[in-house]
Amino acid sequence: MTNTLITLFGGLAAVLVLYAIGGFVRNLPPILRAVLAGGIPLIAYFILIVGHWPGLDVVAIHISVFFATALVLLVLSVFRRRGERLHWAPRLLMLFFVGLAVLMGGFLYIANNGLPEPIGQWWLGGNKGPVYSGFSGVVPHTQQAATAISSELSRTHREAALGWNVDISGLDGNASARRVRVRIRNHTGLPVDHVDAELSLHRPGAAQAVLTVPLPELDAGEYGGVLRLPASGRWLAELRLSREGALHYQHTQELVMP
């Protein structure tokens, strides 16, 4: 998963560099110079996020910041060529958009990573424990919404109806790589074999999984694998147990990586 801050401010720097390079090309119209300076980093960003869609809001921020920067540079160049002094109103408007870009970048950082630990401890307290200030997202309005809200009750109900006793270990903690083990027993205590187990990772509120990890059978009734969180913040790990192509068990747990 691409880092939004790197792509946002890295692309912003690329716009400035490309616009400066365009000034050395003779007979290049200023409007075309601005379009190329804003469009090339945007195309590179689109190529980078293929297969890793970050959300329409993040993409819209990149589009607006890249082309707004190119537009500001175009206005400055036109006034400089004419030898005219830029009025204070356009200057104030440009300053507003620069501050808006910095503010949006800061909000994106806090949403994904939370406040820096010293600031979070000072501002939010925490009783000497870790403080998680990243945005946990929203619950999707699907039939599985109750799973994320009351997962423990849902799991107990499914286990009672199915007759399985499912024990999950390894998801807790703060490490980026977590060794997950799933132990399945039936109502008599015997291991349940030939189960297709997989673990999918979602951002809260996102319908599409970021990655899916198959959990092969390690022993009789035991399945496991390594789940690697691609970035910090809050995640939803969804365990799915199927047999003969039919889904028999589903459980969702929230994970946090500082």
- Phi, psi values for residue 123, rounded to 5°: -85, -40
* Domain edges within the chain: 4-113, 145-257
Which residue's structure tokens are 């790589």?
177
Statement: 145-257 belongs to CATH 2.60.40.1930? yes
Please state, in angstroms and rounded to a whole number, the distance separating the CA atoms of residues 76 and 226.
Answer: 53
* Tokens encoding 251: 């459980």
Q: Model confidence over 205-234: pLDDT tens digits?
A: 677 788 899 999 999 999 999 999 888 778
Q: Are 154 and 162 in contact (CB under 8 A)?
A: no
Q: CB atoms < 10 A from the CB of 231, how many?
A: 15
Q: Which residues pair with 247 in a beta bridge?
A: 242
Q: Give residue 126's pLDDT.
A: 55
pTM for this predicted structure: 0.47
Q: Give residue 146's pLDDT.
A: 44
Please state, in angstroms and rounded to a whole number, the distance separating the CA atoms of residues 245 and 222.
Answer: 19
Residues in the chain: 258
Where the chain has pLDDT below 50, the residues are: 1-2, 138-149
- Within 130-232, strands assigned E span 165-169, 177-185, 196-202, 211-215, 217-219, 222-228
